[in-house]
Every structure is written in C-alpha cells, then in structure tokens.
Amino acid sequence: MKVFKKILLLLFLFAFQIDGIHGKDVLKVLAIGNSFSEDAVEQYLYELAAAQGDSLVIGNAYIGGCSIDRHWNNAQSGKADYEYRKVVGGVRYNRKKVTLKEIICDECWDIITFQQASHYSGKPETYVNLGKLCDYVRKEALNPKVRFAFHMTWAYSKDSDHGAFKDYGNNQMKMYHAICQSVKAVPQYGIKKIIPTGIAIQNAREAIGDKLTRDGYHLERTVGRYTAACTWCQFLTKEKITKNPYYPVAIDSSVAVLLRKSAQDAFRKRKKVL
C-alpha cells in the first residue's frame, strides 16, 4: 500500500509539473510560520490562485505558536521540530519531525515568508533575530534569487481570552497599532515586502463585525481564513482579488465580496499605516 501511494504521488507530481510547463509558471511559496500561517495559506489560497489561472506550490514550516527566536534556535541546532505541510495541485501532504533545512531545500522556492508569534507580534524587541534567520534561510535556499516577505498577522478579537492579550491592555486596537509599529521595523532586517493580512482582517471586522476568529485569536475557518487567503493571493499574483470569482460555498456571495474588498483595501492602507 505504501509503495502504491508513493507511485501515485510521483505520477501526480509529474503531471502537475508538465501542466505548469505548458501553462503559467508555477510559483513556489514557503511560509516559515505557525498556526497563523496555517490559517492563511493552507486552505483557499490554492483555489483562489487557480480560479484566476495561476499555479502555486505552497509549503508551511509549521510549529504551533512558534516565534522568530524559536525558528532561529531550530536553524542553529538542526532540530527536527517541524511539521512540514505542503499543498501541490490542491492536494495536501504532511510530514512530521522535519528540520527547517530539509523544508527549505525541498523545493526551489520563489518566495519565503517569515512572521512573529502572535503574542510577540506587537513587541518590536522580539524581532531582533529576524535578520539572522533571514541570513540562514538565504544561505540554505536553492534559489539564489529567492524573495523574502513578512506576514503581518492580526490582532485578537475584542473578547479574546488569550493569556497574552493583557500585554496589550485587552484592547484590540491597541494590539493592532502595536503590530503596525513592529512591522514598520521589519525592513531593517532585510525584508522589504509586507503581506498585510492583519490590516485585511481589521478591515473585514469593520465590514462584517468582530467575528473573524474561532477562539479569539485563530481565524474563523470560513470568513477569517478566506480573508487571509485573499490577501496572500493578491500579494503573490499581483492580480486584484476583487475580480477573483472563487469563494467557499459556506460563505454567502455578498459577504465574499466584502471580504475580497477588505483584502484589496489592505494594500492601499498598508502605505499609510506601515
């Protein structure tokens, strides 16, 4: 059975590569992240890109709640601490107990993204090892022209019971503005591009209410994750997400329009707040 599954996977990957050669180039993106990158890239992103004729290979170097410091420590130690989640041709694959180097070297990634753990996201002093992590990743990356981006995450819901919310006075807007201030400092670490998911989520809250999370901090599985995926899709493909026809059946079409607009508007607002 295992041999049969491996053969199927190889045939599938081969077919996917051939399709990519004759169609648009396949864009390969890796998130070095945590559960917030899970929320953003593991569902809806592939489908959104496919709906406009773009092909993605999506990787997520996943550790729940992982901070920049922990990623940096893992890079130094080579600890097999990751769950490697990958989306190829719309199919998801998982491998556990993988090192960061193995994930980086698994593909010739076009774009690699970084992010901070949510509880530290509004604390710029916790970003100091980001430059070292970037240097390590660039050294190990197979693609000498790999591009880096930073994933700006979102503030907690107003009624969140997350233990770290008190660090922001249990105030959503205070946390949001703290994240904005922290992300402003990211370019000093060699990352010029920002994925403004945190802004998109805040826009969506203004549009449909503060119901974008499922537990006060992780994104709600439909409207929350869809908003994040829309933001990533526009960033990666440079296509206006408001023109994208895809939305999950669980979301009303009129709501989907508002969420896509929230994502697109985040790029305009990014210039003002970051």
Q: Can you tell me the distance from the alpha carbon of 205 to that of 185, in angstroms, rounded to the nearest whole number?
A: 25
List Cβ neighbours of 117 (8 Å cut-off, separation of 6 or more): 34, 65, 66, 67, 68, 70
Output the six-digit token pair for 143: 């693609």
Q: For the chain, what is the total number of helices (H) and then of strands (E)? A: 10, 7
> What integer pLDDT is reported at residue 25 of this predicted model?
87
Residue 242: pLDDT above 60?
yes
Say if strands 55-62 and 193-195 run parallel, antiparallel, or are unpaired: unpaired
CB 100 within 8 A of CB 70: no
Output the six-digit token pair for 28: 């390969």
Residue 108: pLDDT above 70?
yes
List Cβ neighbours of 8 (8 Å cut-off, separation of 6 or more): none
Instruction: Give pTM, 2 decimals.
Output: 0.91
Lowest mean pLDDT among 12-16, 103-107, 170-174, 222-226: 12-16
Q: Can you tell me the distance from the alpha carbon of 226 to that of 90, in angstroms, rounded to the nearest whole number?
A: 16
Residues 54-90 have pLDDT tens digits of 999 999 999 999 999 999 999 999 999 999 999 999 9
> What integer pLDDT is reported at residue 5 of this predicted model?
45
What domains appear along the chain, each with residue ranges and CATH number?
Answer: 27-198 (3.40.50.1110)
> What integer pLDDT is reported at residue 24 of this predicted model?
64
